[in-house]
Amino acid sequence: MVTIDLSGHTGLVVGVADKHSIAWGIAQILSEAGMRLALTYQNERLERNVRELASTLPDPLVLPLDVTDDRQIDAVFEAIGNQFGRLDCLIHAVAFAPREDLMKDYVETSRDGYRIALDVSAYSLAALARGARPLMKESGGGSIVTLTYYGSEKVVAGYNVMGVAKAALEASVRYLANDLGPDNIRVNAISAGPMKTLAARGIPGFMNMLKYHEEKAPLRRRVDMRELAGTALFLCSPLGSGITGEVIHVDCGYNILGL
């Protein structure tokens, strides 16, 4: 049961694709805590999914957003400013690399594939943080949370260029935390254990990765969606007010293992 009260607070959740999305799990728990939310959809193909999910939330704002388009980013924050007047948290749950590049060894990554992976998966955090900053300052501060994965730290078979993009994302978390700290804006990442999401299904050998994780993680299971969402809730609440620039592993302990 949620005991954190975020009534009167507002949030933007970027990256909902369907009901299995980590972004949607986070949106649900933030809403349960009383936060009013804006959700974005990437394109017309995903719009119906996002609008159907959003309809289960109280008074949501649903907006189009391609994170590679600065004009759309500006439009999202303008709409949030007009509708909410403030912003307390931003959930960044966006990552992409062309499948043909994920299927190759990293050494064979195309220049264009590298550019796309870094733009969508890492630079978008900086672009969204820049848009969120004025609205969070109006609120007296805020919390930005992004999602990463252990493949940023160690080589994970099949993760390839996405691992490099996530490493850049985690470095961005630290630099953004330093830039935005004087405005009382915190920036953190959750390093999530493998989950059966739409994005994960595009990773070669993902089901084998999931099985191995369940067998070897200290808790001998994979992480639950509510555990990931609960960590985001904590980071977006006053309970996390002293934490910034961190990568918090929520993976049933898998990251502590050697062999």
Q: Catalytic residues, which ones?
A: 149, 159
Could you list the beta-strand ranges (E) of the chain: 10-14, 36-41, 61-64, 89-92, 142-148, 185-192, 247-250
Burial of residue 202, with CB atoms counted within 10 A of its CB: 0-12 exposed, 13-18 middle, 19 or more buried: middle
- Torsion from C-alpha of 97, 99, 103, 104, nearest 10 degrees: -60
Give residues with Cβ within 8 angstroms of 187, minimum separation 6: 129, 143, 144, 145, 146, 173, 176, 177, 180, 244, 245
Going by C-alpha positions, the residue among 150, 92, 156 that lies closest to residue 123 is 92
Task: Identify the bridge partners of residue 64 per DSSP, sorted by sequence position.
Answer: 41
Going by C-alpha positions, the residue among 133, 119, 12 that lies closest to residue 62 is 12
Going by C-alpha positions, the residue among 163, 151, 100, 150 that lies closest to residue 251 is 150
- Torsion from C-alpha of 221, 21, 100, 213, nearest 10 degrees: -10
Sign, Cα dihedral of 189, 192, 196, 202:
positive
Instruction: Spell out a b/e string for 99-117, using b for 16 or more CB atoms within 10 Å of the CB, else e.
Output: eebbebeeeebeeebbebb
